[in-house]
Structure 1
Amino acid sequence: MGVLPVPAEVRAILLDIEGTTTPIAFVQETLFPYIKDNVKEYLRAHWEEEECQRDVGLLRKQAQEDSSLDGAVPIPLESGSGEEELERVIQAVVDNVHWQMSLDRKTTALKQLQGHMWRAAYATGHVKGEIFEDVVPAIRKWREAGMKVYIYSSGSVEAQKLLFGYSTEGDILELFDGHFDTKIGPKVESESYRRIAASIGCATNNILFLTDVPREANAAEEADTHVAVVIRPGNAGLTDDEKSYYSLISSFTELFLPSST
């Protein structure tokens, strides 16, 4: 690693989050445990609110679809009033959320509740989005050089905006020209990168994609997008073939932009 020249035709830099701008440990050791530890308290506090009831309704529907799965946790309807009945239903929701998370499921119902819980946690200062220290200075430099900067993450756009809006570096949302999540397509499919290029209004080879995941890098390359693989503490190791094949960086400062003259 060292200096990696950015090809002259690149006009936009597309960034992954987990393992690229943000330590994987932040997601695994801060965000997810926060949900597990606080879901019961959150449901008790917000149960009467329309948003919370919608979230529970989605989870209940998901639980019905999951009923044939091993270890599935049903969520009953409230069959009366009273504190005891409410506790019984809330406990079922808590157990269902814990079960889904133990299987690392990505259901819309689970993601929606998590998103609303994280929003509350960021807003109250219980959680701050962690950003590697080289990220913000590098992005400011890229923008000064006329680059557009976008995010592409499997986390929802809402979750992305929370992470960067309430980050250890303050609110840095103004550094990004746009956000993409898996609604545009999976990160391991080359078609997703063609859609992003069309959405940005450029060719795929005008984009440089930074990710820590070789399968994503491979999909982007198939779409004729430039790629660099990011090596960060805590990231999964690369094979020798991957190390010799991909351009590697361990810090955003290693990207060398062509002079704009």
Structure 2
Amino acid sequence: MTGTRPAWIVLDIEGTTSSTRSVRTGLYEYARPRLGPWIDAHPEDPEVRDAVARVRAEAGLAADAGTADVVVVLRRWMDGDVKATPLKTLQGQVWAAGFAGGELTAHFFPDVPPALRAWHAAGTRLAVFSSGSARAQESWFRHTGAGDLASLVDGFFDTVNAGAKREAASYRRIAEALGAPAGAVLFLSDVPAELDAAAEAGWRTTGVRRPGEPLEEAGFGRHRVVASFGELDFGEAGFREPDLGEPSFGEVR
């Protein structure tokens, strides 16, 4: 089926552009032993001070709780995959330093870099919406084995500047920030609940079912589903989408 080309494609990261293991094992394990030293080494950084204060408040710690107590909470959140904003802020700073220092390289599925470059070259603008901090997202896209992909991306959105990923209001905020009608934005994600929220906000949606990923067997309802970005291409008549039943979005307004 060929439809109107979207003005924007917004990308999830974990399980969509990149393997869950590369994020949860690679990045999480890199950050785990470095969180405490990072906090102690940057006591005057306003983002660090604010993140530590928020950890204390959200975890019910004393206002003067030390770094060791804060790190216990951060690691517990990591183990539970809790999308806590102060955790994401601190992780993002640690990861950015790791990428800049050449200790980290981002993983992308092989079909992703050529698809992003093709979409960008064809005039479709790209953005990212992930629970990881916007800083971490940009570092992830900039330091890859396939070169700098951040230069292709015009917007990075997280739970701080957009909101929760399973709430329609977050997608409305992003569309407003992009200056695009909701129906002109296509969201790619492996999480059905995120796709549902985006569709509620009027976005186009396509589920990404990656072999071997945790949500490979998830039910995507009426959302179109692909296993590779190669199944989404540009044709002369516009943006080509797989004909997998009724779409979950309307025409571009």
TM-score by length of 1: 0.79
Which runs of structure 2 are paired with 1:1-261 in the superposition (5 Å)?
Answer: 5=1, 7-43=3-39, 46=41, 50-51=44-45, 55=48, 58-60=51-53, 62-67=55-60, 76=64, 89-182=66-159, 183-232=161-210, 233-239=212-218, 242=220, 245-259=222-236
| Per-residue deviation, residues 62-98 of structure 1 (Å, max 9, x unmatched) | 325523xxxxx66856xxxxxxxxxxx5544433432
- Give 2:85's aligned amino acid: T
Aligned length: 236
**Partner Cα distance (1:61, 1:190) in 2:** 25
**Partner Cα distance (1:43, 1:106) in 2:** 19
CA RMSD of aligned residues (A): 2.6
**Partner Cα distance (2:72, 2:144) in 1:** 30
Query: Hey, which of these two has a bigger chunk of helix by percent?
Result: 1
Aligned residues with identical type, % of pairs = 33
- Give 1:133's aligned amino acid: P
**Partner Cα distance (1:200, 1:65) in 2:** 32
Residues 209 and 220 in structure 1, CA contact (< 8 A), matched pair in contact too? yes
**Partner Cα distance (1:50, 1:202) in 2:** 39
**Greater relative contact order (Cα 8 A, min sep 6): structure 1 or 2?**
1
Q: Deviation of residue 228 (structure 1)?
A: 0.9
| Per-residue deviation, residues 99-147 of structure 1 (Å, max 9, x unmatched) | 3333433333322221221111111111111111111111111122221
**Structure 2 alignment gaps of length 5 or more:** 239-253
Change (3 A) 1:105 1:242: closer
- Give 1:62's aligned amino acid: V
Q: Deviation of residue 257 (structure 1)?
A: 2.1
TM-score by length of 2: 0.81
Change (3 A) 1:125 1:212: same
Change (3 A) 1:242 1:142: same
Larger-Rg structure? 1
**Partner Cα distance (1:65, 1:191) in 2:** 23
* SS across alignment from 1:184: coil
